């Protein structure tokens, strides 16, 4: 019970720090339009969430215009979980295809991208759900700050960089089938990594922890 309460408390701190940092960078102080990926909310944590905690904190302050939520293929955690949570909480959310993310950044006024993390290495590289890396590349190209929201327990100082993180590869049927219905040639070769690594230099907004927001290069010293 103590661990559950600590996680909820840490997530609320992450939300508060992230919301304040984002609002401090937005002309006029908000309201802001965000984009997020996968599920990082109540259904993935003990409560409130990490990246979705930032979304919730902004919404509670009346400073969120809208959040764009990627579907997050092939497991669809964004469409099945994040969109559900946000709608339930009355948060203005728009679901988009993964392939529409860059277009949404350019055409729908996205002002910051906020994602979670499965692991953060000593140099600030981040492993997260597949698709995170390409979001960071697109955000960097368009000058949109890219944030990672993660508790300090996610940080692993024993790993020098993201190249040392083993990446799980999932069955090809997750792409060739949906609900048992064949979507592709059954014998086609499939590469289906569950995660990717975002290099620290693409995390332009910062890494949001329960202790504050840090540049990737500052994180190890701060922890």
Catalytic (active-site) positions: 118
Nearest-CA neighbor of 32 among 123, 142, 108? 108
C-alpha 27 chain-centroid distance: 23
Opening angle at CA 79, ends 77 and 81, nearest 5: 55
Kindly list the distances between the CA atom of residue 150 and the CA atoms of 15, 18, 87, 184, in Å, as whole numbers in the listed order: 10, 10, 23, 36
Which secondary structure element, helix H or strand E, spans residue 48, and what is its range? none
Residue-wise DSSP of 95-146: EE-GGGHHHHHHHTT--EEEE--SEEETTS-EEEETTHHHHHHHHHHHT--E
Extract the tokens encoding 135: 């979001």
Are 150 and 51 in contact, with CB atoms under 8 Å apart? no
């Amino acid at each position: 019970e103590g661990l559950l309460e600590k996680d909820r408390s840490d997530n609320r701190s992450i939300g508060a720090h992230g919301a304040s940092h984002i609002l401090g960078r937005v002309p006029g102080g908000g309201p802001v339009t965000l984009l997020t990926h996968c599920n990082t909310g109540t259904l993935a944590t003990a409560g409130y969430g990490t990246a979705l905690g930032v979304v919730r904190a902004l919404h509670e302050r009346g400073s969120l215009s809208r959040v764009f939520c990627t579907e997050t293929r092939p497991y669809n955690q964004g469409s099945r979980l994040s969109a559900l949570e946000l709608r339930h909480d009355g948060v203005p959310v728009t679901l988009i295809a993964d392939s529409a993310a860059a277009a949404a950044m350019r055409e729908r006024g996205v002002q910051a991208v906020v994602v979670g993390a499965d692991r953060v290495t000593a140099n600030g590289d981040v492993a997260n759900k597949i698709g995170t890396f390409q979001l960071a590349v697109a955000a960097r190209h368009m000058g949109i700050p890219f944030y990672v929201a993660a508790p300090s327990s996610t940080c692993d100082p024993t790993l020098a960089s993201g190249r040392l993180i083993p990446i799980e590869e999932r069955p090809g049927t997750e792409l060739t089938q949906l609900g048992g219905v064949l979507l592709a040639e059954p014998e086609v070769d499939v590469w289906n990594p569950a995660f990717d690594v975002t290099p620290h230099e693409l995390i332009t907004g910062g890494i949001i922890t329960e202790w504050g927001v840090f540049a990737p290069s500052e994180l190890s010293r701060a922890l």
